[in-house]
Amino acid sequence: MKKEILYSLKSPYRDNLDVIGCRFGSGKKSVAIVGATRGNKIQQMYICSQLVRTMKRLEKTGKISPNCEILIIPCINYYSMNIGKRFWTMGNTDINRMFPGYDQGETTQRIADGVFRKLEGYEYGIQLVSFYQTGNFLPHVKLMETGFTDPADMERFGLKYGIVRKPRPYDTTTLNYNWQIWETKAFSVYSNETSGIDDVSCSEVVAAILRFMYSIGAITEKSVPGYKTEIINESDIYQIRSSAGGIFRADVPTGSPVEQGQVIGRIIDPIDGKTISQITTEYAGTVFFEYNQPLINESTMCFKIIV
């Protein structure tokens, strides 16, 4: 393993922000893996650390394929992580909305530019990302549909679901989108945790990435078998919103099969304990996402069902 500083930013008040990369193998730029771009992505950094640990073993035993280089960046935004802040500490801006970056721009644009220059040219890119809604969900891989990357490649991860989504205007400044514009086949992998650590979900994602690297020939050690991935469009996932505010109770966990018309959750009056709303599903399918906070507001997304 070659541990190196990919980008360094000087600070008058703190140590330098050094973005560390771990390189394995040599030759063709095969796979780049990026963990935490935000200060609250503890799980994503942890997953990368476990990948680094595994890759060190594979390199030591000669199981990285010849002429293949693999780069892992566990964390970009150490400054914010050190003080428990999600976005950039001074300007409150999001590094993952600054790609491909600008070396004469504001601080986060310069960081994005410095990191992206090191990420260009890889055949495949994998970004570990967090779910934008609060709750439990099934680990999955997602592809932003730009016309460059083949959705069938998501099957290489062996996760239960691969989701294709159409990019929105704000996606054009993300790492995933720009990777594809610069001809890297990019995927986003979601683990069921962000600011904490979930070892079960971590192990599932690490195994999925190893399966992917084995399938493209970057490593020679076969990983544990995965699932036959079901590829779906994000627009086909049925969303359920709460009809009232109160105490939220889910009656089914993520991954559970549900029937049309089934009661899958309740909203309880916080004063007298009466059920003021029953949450039902209009479709049969599998619970992909469930809200997991004790209190809920009206019109909050509380379930997503894969039909």
In the chain, what is the straight-line distance between the N-terminal and C-terminal CA atoms, in Å?
Answer: 44
The answer to whether residues 158 and 34 belong to one domain is yes
The answer to whether residues 244 and 189 belong to one domain is no
DSSP 121-159: T-SEEEEEE--SSSSEE--EEEEE-SSSS-GGGGGGG--
The answer to whether residues 70 and 191 belong to one domain is yes
The answer to whether residues 217 and 256 belong to one domain is no
Handedness of CA 50, 52, 58, 64 (dihedral sign): positive
The closest of 302, 70, 282, 32 to 182, measured between CA atoms, is 32
Q: How many C-alpha atoms does 300 have within 13 Å on its Cβ side?
A: 20
Phi–psi pair at 122, nearest 5 degrees: -80, 145
**CATH number for the domain including 218?**
3.40.630.10
Q: Which amino acid is at 300?
A: T
The answer to whether residues 161 and 300 belong to one domain is no
- What confidence score (pLDDT) does residue 132 get? 74
Give the residue from 203, 228, 253 where a domain finishes: 228
| Burial group, residue 191, by CB count within 10 angstroms (0-12, 13-18, 19+) | buried
The answer to whether residues 159 and 190 belong to one domain is yes
- What confidence score (pLDDT) does residue 194 get? 87
The closest of 17, 181, 175 to 88, measured between CA atoms, is 17
The answer to whether residues 98 and 145 belong to one domain is yes
Q: Are 175 and 153 in contact (CB under 8 A)?
A: no
- What confidence score (pLDDT) does residue 81 get? 85
Q: Which residue is it, tokens 């989504």?
A: 165
The answer to whether residues 174 and 28 belong to one domain is yes
Domain count, the chain: 2
- What confidence score (pLDDT) does residue 255 get? 94
Q: What is the largest CA-CA distance in the chain?
A: 67
- Distance (Å, rounded) from C-alpha 35 to C-alpha 232? 25
- What confidence score (pLDDT) does residue 185 get? 97
Q: Is the pLDDT of residue 79 over 90?
A: no
Q: Is the pLDDT of residue 89 over 90?
A: no
Q: Is the pLDDT of residue 127 over 80?
A: yes
Give the residue from 228, 262, 288 where a domain finishes: 228
The answer to whether residues 35 and 75 belong to one domain is yes
- Ranges 76-80, 189-193, 303-307, most confident: 303-307
- Which domain, by its residues, includes 274? 236-306
Q: Is the pLDDT of residue 291 over 80?
A: yes
Q: Is the pLDDT of residue 12 over 80?
A: no
Q: Are 135 and 292 in contact (CB under 8 A)?
A: yes
The answer to whether residues 109 and 141 belong to one domain is yes
Q: Is the pLDDT of residue 274 over 80?
A: yes
Q: Is the pLDDT of residue 54 over 80?
A: yes
Residues 174-229 pLDDT 10s? 999 999 999 999 999 999 888 889 999 999 999 999 999 999 999 999 989 999 99
**CATH number for the domain including 243?**
2.40.50.100
- What confidence score (pLDDT) does residue 120 get? 96
Q: Which amino acid is at 41?
A: K
The answer to whether residues 219 and 241 belong to one domain is no
| Mean per-residue pLDDT, 133-155 | 93
Give the residue from 176, 207, 228 where a domain finishes: 228
The closest of 152, 9, 174, 184 to 79, measured between CA atoms, is 9
Q: Is the pLDDT of residue 14 over 80?
A: no
The answer to whether residues 8 and 147 belong to one domain is yes
Q: What is the mean pLDDT of the chain?
A: 94
